[in-house]
Amino acid sequence: MTGPPDGVYPAGAAHPALAGDVVGYCGYVESSPVPVRRRELPGPRVPVIVSFGDVLSVSSPGVSGELTSFVAGFHDTYAVTEFAGSQAGLQIDLTPLGAHRLLGLAGADLRDGSLCLSDVLGRSGDEFVARLVDAPDWASRFALADAFLLRRSSAAREADPEVGWAWERLASTGGRLRVATLADEVGWSRRHLASRFRHQVGLGPKEAARVLRFARAVRRLRAELPPSSISDLAAGTGYADHSHLVREFHALAGCTPSQLAAELRGAPVAVP
């Protein structure tokens, strides 16, 4: 059984010096008398979940488990989360390159995620979580997150400029660029670009473009509820046709565009 929780979700912008690495912050305090299950969609971000002590059940085609504070990863498929009773915490959304720079993640760890936050950050991460829990309000928590990430940024590893350029080009076009075009632009072979990109972003450029294209379609779907036409949605977001869009939604969201639109409207559509 699922149900909409009662909750508050304060949002905060990251310090300008973190632009390119941090998308933003979102706090959450919510409760529900029935279990709450959600479909978590892939997108151009790496969510870092800082739990204030509550356990979240996470299930995806690759990972399942009971997690508290963790790094979710840059996936190319959906996950299902569930909590019962109440939960509170802070979600820090990083760009994939931000996760590489600020958290030191690379390759499969960056792609697969579901890594315990203390394993990624060590003792400093445990202290960070404790300070967030003890902070008096959300503005203080956002300031603590800024300070923590700025300290890590000052000593962060640098990504290859060519990878950064390729990521920005893909992001700015909604994934509508061929890998060969990107390789020509940066002066690398396609194989070398794919290898370096996968190491620093988590997914290869072709897979990342797929996620970016899907995320663009989801944003348009949210903005046009109910959707006027699935065929128009496909044409406007880089898919070959209606069937191509539906196949990609099944692969990346586990449902059809119409089913996802119903969920976004709050309809009681069961998630797997």
For the stretch 221-249, pLDDT in tens is 988 877 778 888 998 898 999 999 999 99
Within 10 angstroms of residue 187's Cβ, the number of other Cβ atoms is 9
Give the residue from 97, 130, 154 where a domain finishes.
Answer: 154
Distance in angstroms (rounded) separating the CA atoms of residues 231 and 11: 34
Terminal-residue alpha carbon distance, the chain: 12
Residue 184 lies in a domain: yes
What pLDDT score was predicted for residue 1? Answer: 42
Residue 219 neighbours by CB under 8 Å, 6+ apart: none
Expressed as residue numbers, the domain containing 210 is 162-264
Across the range 117-128, mean pLDDT stands at 93
Residues 256 and 180 in one domain: yes
Residues 146 and 172 in one domain: no
According to DSSP, the β-strands at 115-116 and 70-71 are antiparallel
Residue 110 neighbours by CB under 8 Å, 6+ apart: 46, 73, 74, 96, 99, 100, 200, 201, 202
Give the residue from 154, 182, 214 where a domain finishes.
Answer: 154
Residues 132 and 211 in one domain: no
Which pTM does this prediction carry?
0.92
Residue 80 lies in a domain: yes
Distance in angstroms (rounded) separating the CA atoms of residues 55 and 45: 22
- The domain tally of the chain equals 2
